[in-house]
Amino acid sequence: MRYRTIGTTDVRVSEVGFGVWTVSTTWWGVTDEAFGVRLLQEAVDRGITFFDTADTYGNGLGETILAKALGEQRSRITIGTKFGYDFYHHTARRGHEELPHDWRPEYVRFALEQSLQRLQTDHVDLYQLHNPRLDAMQRDDLFAALEALKREGKIRAYGPALGPAIAERQMEEGAYAIEQRRVDLVYIIYNLLEQMLGEALFTRGRRQQTSFLVRVPHASGLLDGTVKPETVFTENDHRFHRVSTEDRKKQWQGDGLRKVQQIGFLTQETGRTLGQAAIQYILAEPSVASVLPNIYNSALLREFAAAVETPPLASAELARIHELYAANFGLATTPSETSV
């Protein structure tokens, strides 16, 4: 494993991180807490030191399971968690719909104290605004509170985790966070097939020394072999709810797999699987600090953790990807739905 630093801070993260949502939300089929604990412990054994969660994952389970699995190794690991959704006072929720946000300074402090108790620690390394809108980014009182928490040593770095879904809106929010708030980090969706946010934000981030965390590096399964032509999404699969209609599901799946057929050169005599090449593609961007693939079994953990040991993408490979993406991989241009 290799490690990178967040922005201008002294916070170090493993180049491959572990998104705790896979073992705390049931969205990926993991319902056995003991299995989740073992998977988190195995991740540390494989060199992963960055674990990202949120207070809303499993209504707190995403933090308590991390403490249960790795509490004794707190000094070895970097913890990221998120805040903003008020699940304490708004318990009624249908499916994946958003809860109300609360960005008041007093709520931020309350939410942090609750997270610290569940995590059984005295500080959070990366504290992230969970899917903020531009109005939250424009609140001076919110960012004054975050700076105060940083001075107090309760958080070491902060920034927004952008989402959900609408890339155009996230571009504006990310640009504001980087250029106006000088945040330490921004968490985005970015991958071989979905490069919009990277194109809009990476140059800004490099200029301001802002780091990026990247989720959905495998385009919701298109780039790791878990989505095949015969794959049928069930109602408990988060992708079932992301795509609006059955026709859109088929289009996303079919077009995505046609694109994947054109990037086989990334695995031919390179020593990389496609899933590993997808991670190496993102790590070729110097402002990216960590990539967080969806890890929900030991096989995926082994493959993704070993990605950093495979050959980095050559300049010719990167140029070819750029050409394919610019031409939409030869497919007719159609509106796309982001893989969240």
- Band (pLDDT 50/70/90 cuts) for residue 338 is very low
pLDDT at 241 over 80: no
- Band (pLDDT 50/70/90 cuts) for residue 230 is confident
- Band (pLDDT 50/70/90 cuts) for residue 28 is confident
Single-letter amino acid, residue 288: V
Predicted structure pTM score: 0.93
Average pLDDT over residues 211-215: 98
Lowest mean pLDDT among 50-64, 119-133, 136-150, 323-337: 323-337
Q: What is the dihedral of CA 51, 54, 56, 57, to 10 degrees?
A: -20
Task: Dig out the tokens for 155 from the structure.
Answer: 């958080």
Helix (H) or strand (E) run with residue 5 in it: strand 3-5
Is 51 in a helix, a strand, or coil?
strand
The set of residues, in sequence order, having a beta carbon less than 8 Å from that of 54 and lying 6+ positions away, is 21, 62, 81, 82, 83, 128, 130, 161
Average pLDDT over residues 166-189: 96
**Rounded-to-integer distance, Cα 249 and Cα 247, Å:** 5
**Average pLDDT taken over every residue of the chain:** 92
Higher confidence at residue 293 or residue 332? 293
Q: Which of 204, 85, 103 is nearest to 144 (CA)?
A: 103
Q: What is the pLDDT of residue 237?
A: 64
Cα separations in angstroms, 57 against 61, 69, 257, 290: 6, 16, 30, 20
- Is the Cβ–Cβ distance between 167 and 196 less than 8 Å? yes
The set of residues, in sequence order, having a beta carbon less than 8 Å from that of 75 and lying 6+ positions away, is none
Cα separations in angstroms, 26 against 95, 236, 253, 260: 12, 8, 22, 27
**Rounded-to-integer distance, Cα 73 and Cα 239, Å:** 34
